[in-house]
Structure 1
Amino acid sequence: MRGLQTTFNADTKELENVLTDVTMSFRKEVLDKLKQKTQPLFKKILTSAWMLNSEILDSIMSTTVQFCQHLKHLEQPVDKDFLGDAHKYVVREYITQAIKPRKRLKRAKREKVGKKMNEEATVIHNSFKDLGSDADWLSSAIHHIANIISEKKRHKIKEYIEEMCQAYPDVRKEHIEAVLTLRGLYRNKKKSIIRKTDKLQENAESVADRTLFAEIDTPTVITCF
């Protein structure tokens, strides 16, 4: 910093402001390009094409890893912050697509979807861990949803929802309703489960800088049952 200060005849505060602006601009550019490349792929999550092979997530992670290589040029903790942003983006977009309104899944398909989501959640976690991400708190989000979708027993579904609410205090009942709709539960059963989790959400304590579901738009669930 002192060398730059001497060369450009500027005080430290001015240089810090310039470096911050450049860093934030670079950060936005990298993340924006990552989004442009991966959004069409995320839209295929839970489609028939997604069910048939692993190429969709492979492409998402391959693109993400490629973009994250640029972060190696940054010093800590800036590189960790950027990596955390990319990690949360992938998890957030995966969940956003997974809980979008769609036809209820039949039992056999629910089990396959849950199994595949759990496998892919592990791939996402391991890929970012290899890159150096320390955002371990993101790792269980997709697993919770996958377990709810594939679970047969109602009391176990309630337990999984309680675990998700404890791990992610910013999850809202609209998110839960969307997952339960995908699971195939009808309105009365959904209301019964959601009602029992309302108090748990009220008592949950948010953790600073750990928002995930708050950044996921709640889908409009339309049902006639």
Structure 2
Amino acid sequence: MAHCCLGGLAEFLQSFQQRVERFHENPGVRELPPDTYISRTITLVNCGPPLRALAERLARAGPLESEPAREAAASALDRVTRLCHRVLADLLFQELQPHFNKLMRRKWLSSSEALDGIVGTLGAQALALRRLQDEPYQALVAELHRRALVEYVRPLLRGRLRCRSARTRSRVAGRLREDAAQLQRLFRRLESQASWLDAVVPHLAEVLQLEDTPSIQVEVGVLVRDYPDIRRKHVAALLDIRGLRNAAARHEILAVARDLELSEGGALATPRDRAFFADIPVPRPPFCLGLPLLLGRLPLSRLSRPGLTCLPRPRPTSPARPRAQL
């Protein structure tokens, strides 16, 4: 009896999953007032825990042959939850994006306006999310926590700021620490369990502010250990931001990231919910043509011009489209 009921429940949940997907794909649904759309999405998510509990009870009461049906039921509910979480997060971050666009600019150094907007918007929207049942709420808040920190760090590593002095580095590092503390307090209020995110911005601040190469190497080592999906390109971008141009020092620091990448196996072992730097692309550095290549093509008077031998990396050429036959 339990086996038959579980099979029927699994079929129903697969149909439910498809209907939820069609609901969110419907262009007319996106025209609903945001509060209505959010409320309906939360209702769909809240269907999950009791149905999941029912499937588990039926599986325990049934024979071993019930396991495939239980897995099918769980898979359908997981898909519904992930889709609805993505919808809710996307709606929230659309509202947050203007505030993130103000980060890492000159005004950001002297004003908390951008972060106050982020914290205020997240705090206000969290009131609606409290209607979620506990399990989906915790999963969503953890993802919001991760995504908020990713969006905070992204403009930093994209090179929106450049530090030209130790004083500027100190100011930027101090601002990063203040913002990190404010975000940490916010997500503690929201009961986020993703505490692994709390240290990422303070680590970046330390790399910016430290002066001697060995100390920077140690901090980079800790950063790579705690966030194994970080890559040398991220560390190199951070060194660019702090204005470190000494080739020997850069090589020593980047070697730490390289060695730990090789020893830890890199981001291949990083679960999706623990990915961080993998979601932050950084600009590709220019490549420099060697002097022997240029000597035969350019007059010596032009070789002394700064930036002459550094060119943007070429983009891969797309295959040529076949010409239309007339």
TM over 0.5: yes
Distance 2:11 2:234 in 1: 44
The answer for the alignment partner of 1:215 in structure 2 is: 279
Q: CA RMSD in A?
A: 2.2
Q: CA deviation at 1:104?
A: 3.0
154, 176, 179: which one aligns with 1:120: 179
Counterpart position of 1:34: 92
Contact preservation (8 Å) 2:234, 2:282:
yes
Judged with a 3 Å threshold, the aligned counterparts in structure 2 of structure 1 residues 93 and 187 are, in CA distance, closer, same or farther, namely farther
1:15-30 equivalences under 5 Å are 15-17=12-14, 18=16, 19=47, 20=77, 23-30=81-88
1:167 aligns with 2:226: yes
Moved more, 44-53 or 184-193: 184-193
Partner of 1:77: 135
Q: How many residues align?
A: 216
Aligned to 2:264: 204
Ranges in structure 1 where 5+ consecutive residues have no aligned partner: 1-9
> Could you give the per-residue CA deviations for residues 21-50 of structure 1, whole angstroms, max 9, x where no partner exists?
654443222211222111221122110111
Q: Does 1:99 align with 2:163?
A: no
CA shift at 1:186, angstroms?
Answer: 0.9
Name the CA shift for 1:78/1:155 in 2 (closer, same or farther; >3 Å).
same
How far apart are 1:157 and its partner, in Å? Answer: 1.0
TM-score (norm 2): 0.61
Aligned identity (percent) is 25
Post-superposition CA distance 1:93-132 (Å, at most 9, x none): 1111111124630211110100110111111111101111
Q: Please, which runs of 5 or more residues in structure 2 have no aligned partner?
A: 1-6, 17-46, 48-76, 288-306, 311-326
Amino acid at match of 1:130: R
Once the 2 structures are TM-superposed, how far is the Cα of residue 67 of structure 1 from its aligned partner? 2.1
* Deviation by residue 1:155-198 (Cα, 9 ceiling, x = unmatched): 11111100100100110000000001101101613223102331
Give the match's secondary structure for 2:281: coil
Runs of 4+ in 1 over 6 A off after TM superposition: none
Of the candidates 3, 9, 23, which is equivalent to residue 12 of structure 1?
Answer: 9
| Aligned match for 1:58, one of 102, 105, 116 | 116
1:128-207 alignment runs, 5 A limit: 128-186=187-245, 188=247, 189-204=249-264, 206-207=269-270
CA contact (8 A) 1:44 1:56 kept: yes
Q: Who is 1:5 aligned against?
A: none
The code of the aligned residue for 1:161 comes to V
Query: What amino acid is the match of 1:162?
Result: G
Normalised TM-score (structure 1): 0.87
The amino acid of 1:81's aligned partner reads A
**CA deviations over 1:66-86 (Å, ceiling 9, x no partner):** 222222111131111100110
Q: Take 1:220 and 1:65, find their aligned partners in 2: how far apart are those partners?
A: 36
Q: Give the greater-gyration-radius structure (CA).
A: 2
